[in-house]
Amino acid sequence: MQTKFVRVNANDNVVICCQRISAGEQVTIGEQQFTMTTTIEVGHKVASQAIGLGEKIIRYGVPIGSATTDIEFGEHVHLHNMKSDYIPSHTRQSRVGE
Amino acid sequence: MRGFKRADGRKGIRNTVVVAYLVECAHHVAKTIVAKVDHDDVQLIGFPGCYPNDYSLQMMEKLCTHPNVGGVLLVSLGCEGFNREQLIGTIEASKRPVETLVIQQCGGTKSTIDLGVAKASAMLGDIASVERADLDVSELVIGTICGGSDGTSGMSANPAVGVSFDLLLAQGATCIFEETGELIGCEQIMAERAETPELGEALLACVEKAEHYYTKMGYGSFAPGNAEGGLTTQEEKSMGAYAKSGSSKINGIITPGEIPPKNGLFLMDVVPDGEPMFGFPNISDNAEIVELIASGALMILFTTGRGSVVGSAISPVIKICANPETYRNLSEDMDINAGSVIDGNHTVEDIGQQIYDCVLKVASGQQTKSEALGHKEFILTYKRFNTSDTTTIEAIGPACLAH
């Protein structure tokens, strides 16, 4: 089965969807077979391992935010279960925007 | 690889005569000279403004003495604000042939064009005998930018360029990435890659300056459409652009036109110092390409998701397409199909290797798609760096009023 995901960096704990996947579709993530529970659009992230609450989400080999809940293998990773760790940006932006 | 050896010891991968207009009023004459000579190695550059500006003068000096340039024909109207004498002096000091045509003294449009065609053709003949020398990977200077980006850019083409940068840097080459406005959110990660703690601080300050500038200019940052495309955070968005820089240590920061002081990986700070004065830092992709070339880039790696057809005067542009659909639609303009990562046929590492191989071929003389198609885009605008230098501010105005 051809993979429908791209892993950008070997250290990442998410993979990126390359072709739209419907809920119920069988896919491989890494070496593992998995049945998607939700529909995933191109460019969206899926957990390639279990990620605990508060753990960093790693893409490009670096943290791009952290989990706001426990995330299971194969689960969609998006605004509903992760957040930005980049709070200083907003503080600074509001300051320079005065 | 064999390069063209210049008197200053630098080596180019092309041997070009540039015809440069020094004000928009001389543009038509310069353009017609280039069109009439009709040779791949005779190319048009120029500065349209009539108000003097340190940045644009420095850019023209660096471009006219670029390692890919063998000789220069300047086309002046005669009364423009541009510091023609300083530019001529700089080119002469680089030991390149330079000729200047002043339209007001040459009899007008037709007479200047006829003279210019003769001079450019003669110069082309003269520089054909320039010394050739072995060219090592460590002597390459490569710049990268992205344009017409979409969700696939950060998945395939940008990280693949990062892989090629790592391969080039491992062999001692010099690589330049830029666009600090698109690095907002990943500056901490970038700072951790700095060679020294001081450089780390400077990288943070660079991004902070960009954030201030773009906020003043009215730019937003993270848009709702980004989230629809799968992006969740500002840092994730910026990391997509930042991926072009690879994973090697960062060795320094340069401004446009500044030649990297040593080999290694450099961030180009393209955002002007001080408050916004002349508009957006780069009004189009071509302005960024010109800045990388002015800093000595022998070649540009240009990534695109939605598609772009541009090339550039002076240095070849290799176009790397991130999106498989765009590649199928615009393959005649694309050198590398990074979209095959999205199709599942190649890994990011495979495409990085392909880009590296392509860089060596182009350095050896193979034409890029944009070169073969005759693309020689060029644009140069006003900017200002070093606000502490108040003379720069006072100098803005017609040169004739300064005396």
**pTM recorded for the entire structure:** 0.91
**CA B242, CA B336: separation in Å to the nearest integer?**
20
| Strand segments (E) across B34-167 | 42-46, 69-76, 98-102, 132-134, 141-146
CB contact under 8 Å between B211 and A96, yes or no, is: yes
Q: Please list every residue in chain B whose beta carbon sits closer than 8 Å to the beta carbon of residue A66.
A: none
Nearest 5°: phi and psi at B205? Answer: -65, -35
Q: End of a domain among B78, B105, B134?
A: B134
- The Cα–Cα gap between B75 and B37 comes to 15
List pLDDT tens digits, range B335-385: 999 999 999 899 999 999 999 999 999 999 999 999 999 999 999 999 999
Domain identity same for B130 and B202 = no
Quick check: is B354 in a domain? yes
Q: What is the CATH number of the domain that holds B51?
A: 3.40.50.2300
**Which residues, 6+ apart, have CB-to-CB distance to B246 below 8 Å?**
B161, B162, B163, B164, B165, B166, B169, B175, B265
Say yes or no: B148 and B267 in one domain. yes
> Of B116, B134, B152, at which residue does a domain stop?
B134
Chain A environment of B340 (Cβ under 8 Å): none
Q: Name the residue ranges covered by the structural domains of chain A.
A: 5-84
Per-10-residue mean pLDDT, chain A, length 98: 80 92 92 92 94 95 92 95 69 37
Per-residue model confidence (pLDDT) at position A2: 62
Q: Closest residue of B to A84, CA-based?
A: B233
Q: Given a cut of 60, is residue B20 above it in pLDDT?
A: yes
Tokens encoding B41: 């190695």
pLDDT digits (tens, 9 = 90+) for B140-165: 999 999 988 888 899 999 999 999 99
B247 in A contact zone (CB under 8 Å): yes
DSSP bridge partners of B126: none
Size of interface A-B (CB pairs under 8 A): 96
Which of these, B34, B396, B363, B308, lies nearest to B173 by C-alpha position? Answer: B363
Decide if B397 touches A, using CB distance below 8 A. Answer: no
Cα angle: B377, vertex B382, B383; to 5 degrees: 115
Mutation site, B189, B190, B235, B351, interface A, largest A CB count within 10 A: B235
At B269-293, the pLDDT tens digits run 999 999 999 988 888 999 999 999 9
Q: Are residues B130 and B148 in the same domain?
A: no
Work out whether strand A82-83 and strand B2-5 pair parallel, antiparallel, or are unpaired: unpaired
Residue B235 located in a structural domain: yes
d(CA A66, CA A59): 11
Question: Distance, in angstroms, between A13 CA and closest chain B CA?
Answer: 14
Does residue B383 sit within a domain? Answer: no
What's the number of domains chain B is made of?
2
Task: Please indicate, yes or no, whether residues B100 and B191 belong to a single structural domain of this protein.
Answer: no
Q: Are residues B94 and B169 in the same domain?
A: no
Closest CA to A57 of A96, A93, A15: A15
Out of 2.30.130.110, 3.40.50.1220, 3.60.15.10, 1.10.760.10, which CATH number does the structure's domain A5-84 have?
2.30.130.110
Cβ distance of A6 and B341 shorter than 8 Å: yes
- Is it the case that residue B398 has pLDDT exceeding 80? no
Give residue B393's pLDDT band: very low, low, confident or very high (50, 70, 90): very low
Strand partners, B2: B134
Cα separation, B317 vs B368, in Å, equals 7
Other CB atoms within 10 A of residue B73 CB: 26
Q: Are residues B150 and B224 in the same domain?
A: yes
Chain B contact set for A89 (CB, 8 A): 184-185, 211, 221, 234
Domain, as residue range, for B327: 137-373
pLDDT at B400 over 60: no
Chain B residues closer than 8 Å to A59 by CB: 236, 239
> Which of B211, B229, B239 is the closest to A43 by Cβ?
B229
| Interface ipTM | 0.85
